[in-house]
Amino acid sequence: MAEKQPRFERLTADQRRERLVEASINCLAAEGIQGFTVDAICREAGSSRGLIVHHFGSKDALLAAVYAEVFQNVLVGLDALDPDTATPEALVEIVLSGGFMDRKYLKVWLALWGEISVNPGMQAEHRTLNTTFREKLALSLQAMAHKRGKVIDGHGVAILLISLADGLWLQQSIDQSLLASDRAKELCLSVVNAALTGGLTA
Amino acid sequence: MAEKQPRFERLTADQRRERLVEASINCLAAEGIQGFTVDAICREAGSSRGLIVHHFGSKDALLAAVYAEVFQNVLVGLDALDPDTATPEALVEIVLSGGFMDRKYLKVWLALWGEISVNPGMQAEHRTLNTTFREKLALSLQAMAHKRGKVIDGHGVAILLISLADGLWLQQSIDQSLLASDRAKELCLSVVNAALTGGLTA
DNA sequence: TTTGCTATTGTATGATCGTTCAACAGTGGC
DNA sequence: GCCACTGTTGAACGATCATACAATAGCAAA
User: Rounded distance, CA A118 to CA A110, Å?
Assistant: 13
Give chain A positions within 8 Å (CB) of B27: none
Q: Which of B28, B27, B39, B23 is nearest to B110 (CA)?
A: B28
pLDDT averaged over every residue in chain B? 94
The residue of chain A nearest to residue B173, with distances taken between CA atoms, is A117
* pLDDT above 70 for B1: no
pLDDT band at A5 (very low <50, low <70, confident <90, very high): confident
* pLDDT above 80 for A22: yes
Question: Where do the domains of chain A lie, and which CATH numbers do they carry?
Answer: 13-197 (1.10.357.10)
B105-159 per-position pLDDT tens digit: 999 999 999 999 999 989 999 999 999 999 999 999 999 999 999 999 999 999 9
Mean pLDDT of B81-97: 94
Mean pLDDT of B31-59: 95
Give residue B5's pLDDT: 80
B4-23 per-position pLDDT tens digit: 688 899 999 999 999 999 99
User: Rounded distance, CA A109 to CA B110, Å?
Assistant: 9
The whole-angstrom distance between B113's CA and the closest CA on chain A is: 6
C1' (D1) to CA (A4) span, angstroms: 19
Residues 61-100/A with CB < 7 A to strand C: none
Chain B interface with A: residues with Cβ < 8 Å: 32-34, 106-107, 110, 113-114, 116-117, 123, 126-127, 130-131, 156, 159-160, 162-168, 170-171, 173-175, 177-179, 183-184, 187, 190-191, 194, 198-202
* pLDDT above 60 for A2: no
Give residue B2's pLDDT: 52
User: Rounded distance, CA A59 to CA A71, Å?
Assistant: 19
> Which chain D nucleotides are covered by protein, judged by CB under 7 A?
7-12, 16-22, 25-27
Tell me the backbone φ, ψ of residue B184, rounded to 5 degrees.
-60, -45
Q: How many CB atoms lie within 10 A of CB B1?
A: 3
A75-109 per-position pLDDT tens digit: 998 998 998 999 999 999 999 999 899 999 999 99
Residues 52-91/A with CB < 7 A to strand D: 54-55
Residue in B168, B179, B190 closest to A200 by CB: B190
How many alpha carbons fall within 13 Å on the CB side of residue A175?
19
Measured from Cα to the C1' atom, the residue closest to C10 is B48
| Residue A82: its H or E element | none
Mean pLDDT of B148-176: 97
Partner-chain contact A32 B33, CB within 8 Å: yes
pLDDT band at A3 (very low <50, low <70, confident <90, very high): low
Give chain A positions within 8 Å (CB) of B202: 187, 190
C1' (C11) to CA (B18) span, angstroms: 27
* pLDDT above 60 for A25: yes
Which comes out higher in pLDDT, residue A142 or A3? A142
Angle at which helix B88-97 crosses helix B181-197, to 10 degrees, equals: 140
Give residue A166's pLDDT: 97
Partner-chain contact A171 B156, CB within 8 Å: no
B11 touches strand C (CB under 7 A): yes
Give residue B3's pLDDT: 59
Give residue A91's pLDDT: 96
Kindly give, in sequence order, each residue whose CB lies less than 8 Å from that of residue A199, ignoring residues fewer than 6 positions away. A193, B194, B198, B199, B200
C1' (D17) to CA (B41) span, angstroms: 13
Q: Please, where are the H alpha helices in A46-119?
A: 50-56, 59-79, 88-97, 106-116
Measured from Cα to the C1' atom, the residue closest to C9 is B48
Which residue, among A63, A113, A122, A183, would best test binding to B if mutated, counting the most B CBs under 10 Å from its CB?
A: A113
Mean pLDDT of A186-200: 96
